[in-house]
Structure 1
């Protein structure tokens, strides 16, 4: 019976080499799916790079990477605590540790507290303004798991949460908030809505059956065009962020690689094929890297 409820991901890769008792907790943290860490980290890295990196730039990138790992893992644990009954009714999520009762609710809360303490350690490495901005995100994070029950656009709320690092990285380098960071944040929100709509394409049938809302269901057959609009808005705000820092046409050319990548995602997307949607979603770790290079080039030009 235990074999029947253990997903394949706990028998291979990083989770597979862990002691058997630790594997459900690693699965709860999504150690087999690091894409979420990358997607949470990139807006932080963009903001640091666009702010000019600064003397502590490399150290900040490492601290933010640790913070992204800890907080994304904590977010997954918290989400599964809230959604444990709903997850048990959805084919793709029924084997999650809490839904399948391989991890107790009490143990999940203990893990959540431990991960939050790691996040606190990262927070203490930042300047005061960056600390205050980071703390302001907690209300958004706490509300996120409930959004798919309230609105057809939980992806927009996820955009507010996963993009928050763009608001923290800039003051971590410069000690104060700046217009480029606000524009970078706005662009990241639309990027997140775009890629998470792609992700939600996998679950349209299950979501409709259990009454969960998503942008993929809201858009229906217009999903591809909707994603294209979100990506265009993202590029527009990113371009405005770069222009506000360096009002030169040539500086905007730094966005061309990421623009081409996002265009490829939309043009080649197969909305009715779950495997393709997942592959396109995961490719956004590379899109984030291309955007990081753009911010790095612009932010450090002439330094």
Structure 2
């Protein structure tokens, strides 16, 4: 295994804003929170935006822009806290994996105690945001902490840690839905279930980068579980995503703009599977990042579905 500069992280965009503009003293902290890789913030934020748009469409209320800002801020903070906690738990494993050995904790740039302080600060600020969302959303937000805390251990327990990530990353959909509607309905649960499969699919693509290192470190993943059947497996997973979200829209019901967006999302996911080459790690990372666009299509479809009732 080659020696890597501890500040160079291969899944960060070359010349990202942290490397270009952030003072050198704060770069390890920004990398700890993955602010140099904003696609993760997008993928955590977009389900919340979908939940707001979905609930607004089915209740006939105006889209809550202020709450959208709260979710965007909270997504950045909670993603930072979750990544820091994950790195804290996995620091010994990360040191053995080529893609992660340069992370701030495993490379010694930030101590475990400092990382814990970072996590607490992010969570306290997020709590200030959470208490503005209503009782049910607050309860769901508190409940999400169990999902976040358990996630780093899933790769040691199950071959499908991506399923747990799906439950965790899309929890914001339920919180946002509850913040607008004050309840959780069957259509909302179906859409949430579809998003869980979406995350399993795109994170399986992401995990294809790490198969060899994961074998050496003894880490489990859906990419390893599927093996040579990764492409047909991801096809089935994405298919379940589309079936559940379409069922949800039909029961709600949502108006025609959603179905236009759904068709575009289906084409986008089909393109990912068609393009995927399991042995090409750089391509896997590119396809993983492309899921931000799928999420934006869903958000647009749901917003316009609320406008065109």
Asked whether the two chains share a fold, i.e. TM above 0.5, the reply is yes
Corresponding position: 1:29 with 2:33: yes
**Structure 1: unaligned runs, 5 residues or longer:** none
User: What residue in structure 1 maps to residue 286 of structure 2?
Assistant: 279
Give the CA deviation at 1:119: 1.1
Corresponding position: 1:231 with 2:238: yes
Following the alignment from structure 1 to structure 2, what is the Cα–Cα distance between the partners of residues 275 and 148? 22
CA deviation map 1:201-233 (0-9, x unaligned) = 000000011100000000001100111111111
| Match for residue 196 of structure 2 among 189, 202, 219 | 189
Q: How does 1:1-303 map to 2 (within 5 A)?
A: 4-7=5-8, 12-16=15-19, 17-52=21-56, 54-55=61-62, 57-246=64-253, 252-302=259-309
With over 3 angstroms needed to count, the CA separation of the structure-2 counterparts of 1:249 and 1:291, relative to structure 1, is: closer
Following the alignment from structure 2 to structure 1, what is the Cα–Cα distance between the partners of residues 52 and 7? 40
Q: CA RMSD in A?
A: 1.9
Q: How many residues align?
A: 300
Give the CA deviation at 1:299: 3.1
CA deviation map 1:123-171 (0-9, x unaligned) = 0110111111121111111000000011100000001100111111111
Give the CA deviation at 1:288: 0.4
Following the alignment from structure 1 to structure 2, what is the Cα–Cα distance between the partners of residues 153 and 285? 22
CA deviation map 1:233-282 (0-9, x unaligned) = 11111111111112778853441111111111111111110010000000
Following the alignment from structure 2 to structure 1, what is the Cα–Cα distance between the partners of residues 255 and 302? 14
Following the alignment from structure 1 to structure 2, what is the Cα–Cα distance between the partners of residues 66 and 219? 35
* Contact 1:141–1:161 (8 Å) recurs in 2: yes
**Structure 2: unaligned runs, 5 residues or longer:** none
SS of residue in 2 equivalent to 1:19: coil
With over 3 angstroms needed to count, the CA separation of the structure-2 counterparts of 1:57 and 1:142, relative to structure 1, is: same
* Contact 2:105–2:112 (8 Å) recurs in 1: yes
Following the alignment from structure 1 to structure 2, what is the Cα–Cα distance between the partners of residues 98 and 88? 9
Give the CA deviation at 1:52: 1.5
With over 3 angstroms needed to count, the CA separation of the structure-2 counterparts of 1:11 and 1:298, relative to structure 1, is: closer
Following the alignment from structure 2 to structure 1, what is the Cα–Cα distance between the partners of residues 254 and 103? 49
Give the CA deviation at 1:180: 2.0
Following the alignment from structure 1 to structure 2, what is the Cα–Cα distance between the partners of residues 227 and 90? 24
Give the CA deviation at 1:11: 9.1
Following the alignment from structure 1 to structure 2, what is the Cα–Cα distance between the partners of residues 62 and 293? 16
TM-score, length basis structure 1:
0.94
TM-score, length basis structure 2:
0.92
* Contact 1:151–1:213 (8 Å) recurs in 2: yes
SS of residue in 1 equivalent to 2:56: coil
Following the alignment from structure 1 to structure 2, what is the Cα–Cα distance between the partners of residues 275 and 240? 34
